[in-house]
Amino acid sequence: MTMLTQMLIGPAPELDEAPVVEDTAVADDRWKVIAHDDPVTTMDFVVWALVQFFYKPLIFAEAIMWQVHTEGQSVVDVLPKAEAERRVAQATLAARLQGFPFRFTIEPE
């Protein structure tokens, strides 16, 4: 603390122990977003949705898309539940508007 700061606000209080900071992000508040393969949705749409709604760089979006295509599903992201639900709803709506049955699910991490 500088001398000017000490003069303005006084000396720093001495603490016997470290302050307790509560962690509001509970471990079960993290949810996996999973993309599922289907025979109709185009690969281009899947990549676009991953970039648009999950903010994946193009190279990662393409890798996730290939994993969905070859393995049937892939974890897209791990997010707080409300954010996972919001992004899944946006991506699902975009898929339906394009006539695709592409599906995302969420499950606890």
Query: What is the DSSP annotation of the chain?
Result: --HHHHHHH-SPPP-SSPPP----S-GGGEEEEEEE--SSS-HHHHHHHHHHHH---HHHHHHHHHHHHHHSEEEEEEEEHHHHHHHHHHHHHHHHHTT---EEEEEE-
Go through 14-34 and write b for each residue having 16 or more CB atoms within 10 A of its CB, e for each that does not: eeeeeeeeeeeeeeeeebebb
Confidence at residue 5, expressed as pLDDT on a 0 to 100 scale? 46
Give all domains of the chain, ordered by start, each with its CATH number: 37-109 (3.30.1390.10)
Task: Quote the CA–CA distance of 25 and 34 in Å, as a whole number.
Answer: 21
Confidence at residue 26, expressed as pLDDT on a 0 to 100 scale? 54
Task: Quote the CA–CA distance of 83 and 23 in Å, as a whole number.
Answer: 18
What residue type is 105 in one-letter code? T
- Is the distance from CB of 50 to CB of 65 less than 8 angstroms? yes
- The tens place of each residue's pLDDT in the chain, 109 residues long, gives 555 445 555 555 554 555 554 445 555 599 999 999 999 999 999 999 999 999 999 999 999 999 999 999 999 999 999 999 999 999 999 999 999 999 999 999 9
Confidence at residue 21, expressed as pLDDT on a 0 to 100 scale? 47
